[in-house]
């Protein structure tokens, strides 16, 4: 086998680096996006500091489904104005570049992650006599809810319009989700167009490595097509 000369390797190195960056950007743009979890609103499913992989491809071919954990762009100022970074400008620029090419996980400053509870046509209500949420009149058990939390501390009944979803955090007592934004332009609903993709895997730290399951009882409820 012929060994390439040192000069040849040095000339090819920029091409290799640029090609790797292009592939990384394409993967992040169309297939998989990595995010950093900044808050405890999805505990214990997700912990603060977890890095997750989000499948973006599925959002191109189908709508979000009940029970899925999804990442979405802030739909109506839920997060307010992001705090200014204390890092020097050069460090901010480097970090931003590394996030853009997919080397660092996105800090999710203007993104949120929640679980889809209702899809277009659904009526979601809290709560039945046993304290469970109901979807289209069917009580659903939610084993992923943070230990000690109720399905909701506040009562509500909403009908989700087509093209939107109703979302809630698994840590119901610490999640400012759809319930807390019913006075915004979308009445607490999240437009499907704002959804980046489904969170599928916790990739870091290794001791948290796992696939994220969907709410099995939520997925079994029939869609109400009359709405």
- Tell me the β-bridge partners of 154: none
User: Is 98 inside a domain boundary?
Assistant: yes
Catalytic residues: 41, 114
Residue-level pLDDT, tens digit, the chain, 227 residues:
555 555 565 666 666 555 555 555 555 555 688 888 989 999 999 999 999 999 887 665 578 999 999 999 999 889 876 555 556 767 656 656 655 544 444 455 588 999 999 999 999 999 999 999 999 999 999 999 999 999 999 999 999 999 999 999 999 999 999 999 999 999 999 999 999 999 999 999 999 999 998 877 787 776 665 44
User: Is 5 inside a domain boundary?
Assistant: no
**Dihedral in degrees, nearest 10, Cα atoms 71, 75, 81, 85:** 20
For 134, the domain range is 31-220
Alpha helices in 134-198 (DSSP H): none
Which residue has 């959002």 as its token pair? 59
Burial 74-105 (b: 16+ CB within 10 A, else e): bbbebeeeeeeeeeeeeeeeeeeeebeebebb
Cβ neighbors of 16 (< 8 A, separation 6 or more) are none
User: Is 74 inside a domain boundary?
Assistant: yes
- Neighbour tally for 39: CB within 10 Å: 16
In the sheet that holds 138-140, the strands lie side by side as 138-140, 133-135, 123-126, 156-159
Look at the chain and report how many structural domains it folds into: 1
> CA-CA distance, 160 to 122, in Å (whole number)?
5
CATH no. for residue 200?
Answer: 2.10.109.10
User: Is 182 inside a domain boundary?
Assistant: yes
pTM over 0.85: no
User: Is 86 inside a domain boundary?
Assistant: yes
């Amino acid at each position: 086998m012929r060994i390439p000369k040192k000069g040849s390797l040095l000339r090819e190195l920029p091409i290799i680096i640029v090609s790797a960056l292009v592939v990384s950007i394409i993967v992040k743009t169309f297939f998989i996006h990595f995010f950093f979890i900044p808050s405890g609103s999805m505990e214990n499913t997700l912990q603060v500091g977890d890095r997750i992989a989000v499948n973006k491809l599925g959002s191109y071919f189908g709508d979000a489904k009940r029970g899925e954990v999804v990442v979405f762009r802030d739909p109506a100022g839920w997060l307010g104005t992001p705090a200014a970074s204390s890092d020097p400008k050069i460090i901010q620029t480097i970090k931003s570049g590394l996030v853009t090419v997919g080397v660092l996980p996105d800090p999710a400053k203007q993104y949120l992650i929640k679980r889809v509870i209702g899809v277009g046509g659904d009526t979601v209500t809290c709560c039945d006599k046993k304290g469970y949420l109901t979807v289209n009149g069917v009580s659903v058990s939610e084993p992923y809810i943070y230990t000690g939390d109720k399905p909701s501390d506040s009562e509500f009944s909403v009908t989700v319009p087509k093209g939107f979803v109703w979302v809630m955090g698994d840590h119901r007592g610490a999640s400012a989700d759809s319930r807390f934004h019913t006075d915004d332009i979308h009445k607490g609903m999240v437009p499907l167009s704002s959804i980046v993709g489904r969170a599928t895997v916790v990739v870091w730290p290794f001791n948290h490595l796992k696939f994220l399951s969907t709410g099995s009882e939520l997925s079994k409820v029939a869609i109400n097509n009359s709405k």
